[in-house]
Structure 1
């Protein structure tokens, strides 16, 4: 249902570009190379403005003069996009995607903060030293906007890696009155262990949300916002290379995933629901599938619409909220969360893993191997396992289950199931599917037709 709206906006904006802004210069993001990185680049900041009236033709904003662009309407929401360290000098590959996706959603000012001259260097320490200088330049321009009638409430900063801390420095200079800051995998090296005024912090804006996607390398592990999202636990991201043989992608894929997850949230193909939890392990074990302890009683979504979740504002001194979720390997990254409830009637306790596969009449299948930790099945006790699927089928014609103890040798066991139930987390009102009285032979796939669950207590 969301795709047609996005498509309509695309057509509308395409029509607006029929009469391009001819005769006026378009500015581009600074494109450097490895030579510049080796010799070093002095800091220079270029502010590139995009609006719905100049989608494909950036206008440069002069930092030293009064507001000089007829495209900049200070009454609108203004988004600053701040990139991070650029070791090779090339423009980030996600720039146009994030700019255009934002403008598809809302009529706003999008200002790309190009500090590539200053971020391009083989010496990371030099780029990190420039972050506060960039923040001071941004504050001077925001001051001009405020003098023209802009509101801090309408200022939204999206910072990537080092850019996340730049955004935090700007927010700190305004005593946390900026409307919002989103940190996309804030840089960890040289910032870990720093005091709040030396890095991004929840006090830097009215709402601070952070996506951590590379906490074991280039990113920052600890929480830095009002709500911190940890896709796939915040470490290794699915679809990213696992060995150094993959070249540069091995080093940057996890780090960049935060940006691609955010961009995916702009396109409205699906909303990535997340689950507040103490740890990724607890989330994977299905211990955090309810958001009833928060107001409103809904789980937060990651990305652009994260600010619609205001549970953190209910308390006077809100605790840090960490939210966990899993993703697919590629855009739009969404997966479907289900609970598989199993009640067994084995007299002896069984321990093992379950693999579940869903099938449609058309022959489409999706599988979830629930193998995070060994499940313990005891007689007449319900075990609820969190299953994650790459696809979400409205109508399931067949289900298969396979039980395994993980042992290669030794006796084969049976799991006698009194009832199995499949229920959606995202849509609790959806029809629940059940099957009663079946026996799973170890390592043997058992296929059956599910039926609507009976309204009985078990």
Structure 2
């Protein structure tokens, strides 16, 4: 009973995120910023910090790195569902201060424009607090702002106020509405911190098009996410699913359950066309990954200016796809156009990749390179099947002869490169074969 009463008194003394409801949003809220501190000593119990005198809070150690978590527009006023998980994962990663910037009174308005105008004021409030931290001995180098949607621009304003000296800003799908034609001073941009990384998931709706960091990650091209509803009949999730995916991908990256490889490229279509599957600029480091710790690539990225990187995901956890570069040489008499289906088998289980984003050209003695992305990971591949669909349903079936097929794993360098030589296929018919080790001569 003593323990229960201790837990009860602890939970009563926790400072929780402001919980508002729709009536507040209808009436409109005026800005009030609260700062909730979490450390490894109080992972599940926030402690509100005083803006003027934060050193009064004994859990606040100014010499530790500090991450600020900044939410975006809250049209319903409810606390973000992901906040607790993000706090826990950050603290599992590092012994730091995590400060949740609760500006729900301000973000919770049915009028989005009002919330946008409050971002400047909230940013000034946060800037003053960080200056106070500096006076207490905190280093700007070790401050990381993580901003979601409208919060990404708020983070950018703080960084700009501090002349870009903050260590890092992460923007998770920075908000698009009211920012699409904004200049660099009016939105998040690379000059706002020593290092700025951005993840895009909804550029054609609530997110912002373009590149706004030293590195910009574009999930599935940055606009439409797999598994999200395509029609308005799905209700609320039609509007928020793509936009929220940025947070869920980031949680997954922090959890280290999905370390997704991303490839520098000028566009998603070039990436799907297998034109960007090397990462020469980062050697000896591998291709960039969607992870929390980007330090292996940071110096190179800062030198390179702005880098766009692309990757594809599946529709659910752990989001990672199994990717192969497929090279083959065709030797067929007639020119054919088609799409390619590839299946990898291990026993009776299989996973399929469809390379159907555009029609491919198969002609005599031509080498073709594809990017094949599979939803499921199969580590030991016993059989591979391929089908080339040309859409030819009348007339004779033409044969397509592949002199060589080569499968190179892209993000699993320890796995073997697989080959097969001289395969005769008929269009629209599946052919199966056992992969062989490639002759390295």
Q: Structure 1's 38 and 139: CA in aligned 2 closer, same or farther, altered over 3 A?
A: same
Superposed, 1:258-297 pairs within 5 Å as 258-297=246-285
Q: Structure 1's 66 and 326: CA in aligned 2 closer, same or farther, altered over 3 A?
A: closer
Q: Report what 2:49 is aligned to.
A: 61
Q: Structure 1's 295 and 399: CA in aligned 2 closer, same or farther, altered over 3 A?
A: closer
Q: Does 1:192 align with 2:180?
A: yes
Q: What number of residue pairs does the alignment pair up? A: 436
Q: Does 1:348 align with 2:348?
A: no
Q: Report what 2:104 is aligned to.
A: 116
Post-superposition CA distance 1:37-79 (Å, at most 9, x none): 1111111111111111101111111113342211111111100
Deviation at 1:408, TM superposition (A): 4.8
Q: Which moved more, 1:436-445 or 1:199-208?
A: 436-445
Looking at structure 2, the residues matched to 175 and 115 of structure 1 have their Cα atoms a distance apart, in angstroms, of 23
Q: Structure 1's 417 and 332: CA in aligned 2 closer, same or farther, altered over 3 A?
A: same
Superposed, 1:19-58 pairs within 5 Å as 22=10, 25-58=13-46
Classify the secondary structure of the residue corresponding to 2:294: helix
Cα pair 2:282 2:297 within 8 Å, conserved: no
Q: Report what 2:319 is aligned to.
A: 333
Post-superposition CA distance 1:284-307 (Å, at most 9, x none): 000000011345552111241234
Classify the secondary structure of the residue corresponding to 1:41: coil
Looking at structure 2, the residues matched to 94 and 411 of structure 1 have their Cα atoms a distance apart, in angstroms, of 57
Note the residue ranges of structure 1 that are not aligned, 5 or more in a row: 1-17
Classify the secondary structure of the residue corresponding to 1:191: coil
Deviation at 1:311, TM superposition (A): 5.4
Classify the secondary structure of the residue corresponding to 1:126: helix
Deviation at 1:23, TM superposition (A): 8.0
TM-score, normalising length: structure 1 = 0.91
Q: Structure 1's 412 and 108: CA in aligned 2 closer, same or farther, altered over 3 A?
A: same
Deviation at 1:336, TM superposition (A): 1.6
Looking at structure 2, the residues matched to 66 and 262 of structure 1 have their Cα atoms a distance apart, in angstroms, of 29
Looking at structure 2, the residues matched to 402 and 257 of structure 1 have their Cα atoms a distance apart, in angstroms, of 33
Classify the secondary structure of the residue corresponding to 2:354: strand
Correspondence for 2:149 among 144, 152, 161: 161
Classify the secondary structure of the residue corresponding to 1:27: coil
Deviation at 1:188, TM superposition (A): 0.9
Cα pair 2:285 2:296 within 8 Å, conserved: no
Q: Report what 1:224 is aligned to.
A: 212
Q: Report what 1:426 is aligned to.
A: 411
Deviation at 1:98, TM superposition (A): 0.8
Q: Report what 1:88 is aligned to.
A: 76
TM-score, normalising length: structure 2 = 0.95
- Root-mean-square deviation (CA, aligned residues, Å) is 1.8
Note the residue ranges of structure 2 that are not aligned, 5 or more in a row: 1-5
Classify the secondary structure of the residue corresponding to 1:125: helix
- Poorly superposed stretches of 4+, deviation over 6 Å: 18-21
Post-superposition CA distance 1:208-238 (Å, at most 9, x none): 0001111001110011111111110111100
